[in-house]
Amino acid sequence: MTSLTDLELLARLVAFDTTSATRRPTRSLGDFVCGYLDHPCIRAERFDCGDGQENLWFETGPEATGDGAGLLLCGHVDVVPAMEPEWTGDPFTLRIEGDRAIGRGACDMKAFDAIAINLLRAAAETGGLEAPLAVLLTCNEEIGTIGAGHFAAQWGGRPIPHRTIVGEPTSERAVQGHKGHLSLSIEVGGRGCHTGFPDRGVNAIERTIPVLEALRGLRASMVEERAESSDLFEDTPFPVLTVAAIDAGSAINVMPDRCALRVGARLLPGQSATAFLPRLAAAIEAAGVSVEVLEGLEHPIPAGETPLAEDACLITATNDTPSYAIDPSDPFLAEVRAISSDVDGRGVNFGTDAGRLVPLGCRSVIWGPGDIAVAHRPDEWISIEEMTRYRGRLGVLVR
């Protein structure tokens, strides 16, 4: 396949609707990228994640030997929905307006993907690498870094480069780490009945009120917490607890028999999701509500069809995006900072794939082009000038 510029390749990638929230498959994009990187010096693997989703791995140069040498460039290919009426054009057709390349995923993070793919292709064509250069493109990052979690299990104990760039949009700041995000479902039971006979039922919404009060109290206490990693997060140096959604009731004349809360906990690096669950349960029980915690951190979101006892309060962890922080004395961090736009990138409040790659030995710096403030919004865009500048800087790490 003919070589494309980074901008041309970005346009091709944006054209694939890879919205993970609606389970849009990534396989067609994978077919295209595999064709584009079809080269005798590139080793490619595709890892099935179900429902047409897959992780993509490409590697050139010497094969990894287990010493961690080389460089891994990690991006995700899925995007958030583009349903907002404020879009001024087709979200999946890249538009150029001055210095801006506009389209869903242009900033988060298909621009980085395009740059990484082209760097790998150029390295394969030129040859002479001293160490492996790899590109990992994950699926389902936007719905809980699920693809990277699958990849860590799929890859197993095979050798892999440890120096890792996770190219999320950081405005080219070399970021040390990020908070985790523990997604939770809290279901509170009741007993349904006709509202004309309230003594025959138990209102699940009313039973949820002390649960909400407990969550509010826990959130307030968490604001006062500090950890060793707090200095990474200047604006919010504490873990954050959010009640993000409430679902209850079927009709105005029916006593609700179930009330479900969707809750998110953004934990600091060093804080364990496993340890947070008992703390959450204890806070609710202190409000007089008996609690059951479903063991484990990766369960499907409850469908609301399973019978729930009228005195139940069930906590289910539906996803855990682990927090992450690289050792501040790591020489790789210094290496990236030497070529980045900011020598003190600290941390970001959003999650990335970096935490999922820790079991493989990856030491990640989160560093990519684009401003996160314009991601996940109508007319998402990235600066073409910044893409060019970042491509040159990233190339310095390839050797």
What pLDDT digit, counting tens, does each position of 216-246 carry? Answer: 999 999 999 999 999 999 999 999 999 999 9
Q: 335 vs 159, 164, 348, CA distance in Å?
A: 22, 12, 20
Across the range 278-294, mean pLDDT stands at 97
Q: What is the mean pLDDT of the chain?
A: 96
Catalytic residues: 78, 141
Q: Give me the pLDDT at residue 342, please.
A: 72
Return the structure tokens found at 105.
């995923």
Strand order in the sheet with 133-138: 42-50, 53-60, 133-138, 71-76, 163-166, 363-366
Return the structure tokens found at 123.
């390295």
The answer to whether the predicted template modeling score (pTM) of the entire model surpasses 0.75 is: yes
ω before 109 within 30° of 0 (cis)? yes
Q: Give me the pLDDT at residue 180, please.
A: 96
Q: Give me the pLDDT at residue 110, please.
A: 99
Find, among 116, 104, 13, 108, the residue nearest to 60 by Cα.
116
Per-residue pLDDT at 260 exceeds 70? yes
Q: Give me the pLDDT at residue 343, please.
A: 67
Q: To the nearest 5 percent, what fractions of the chain are helix, strand and coil?
A: 30, 25, 45
β-sheet bridge partners, residue 260? 187, 247
* C-alpha 212: how far from chain center: 27
Q: 305 vs 195, 248, 257, 342, CA distance in Å?
A: 21, 13, 11, 50
Report the distance separating Cα 19 and Cα 236, nearest Å.
29
Report the distance separating Cα 243 and Cα 14, nearest Å.
33
Per-residue pLDDT at 302 exceeds 90? no
Backbone phi and psi for residue 384, each to the nearest 5 degrees, phi listed first: -65, -40
What are the residue boundaries of the structural domains of the chain, listed by start?
6-177+323-396, 181-321
Per-residue pLDDT at 341 exceeds 70? yes
CATH annotation of 181-321: 3.30.70.360
Report the distance separating Cα 257 and Cα 311, nearest Å.
10
Q: 274 vs 38, 247, 269, 365, CA distance in Å?
A: 43, 25, 13, 25
Output Rg (C-alpha) for the chain, integer angstroms. 23
Report the distance separating Cα 101 and Cα 379, nearest Å.
9
Return the structure tokens found at 68.
């961690």
Report the distance separating Cα 398 and Cα 80, nearest Å.
30
Report the distance separating Cα 72 and Cα 251, nearest Å.
53
Percent above pLDDT 70 for the chain: 100
Superfamily holding 6-177+323-396: Zn peptidases (3.40.630.10)
Across the range 360-376, mean pLDDT stands at 97
Across the range 21-49, mean pLDDT stands at 97
Backbone phi and psi for residue 301, each to the nearest 5 degrees, phi listed first: -65, 125
Report the distance separating Cα 123 and Cα 362, nearest Å.
22
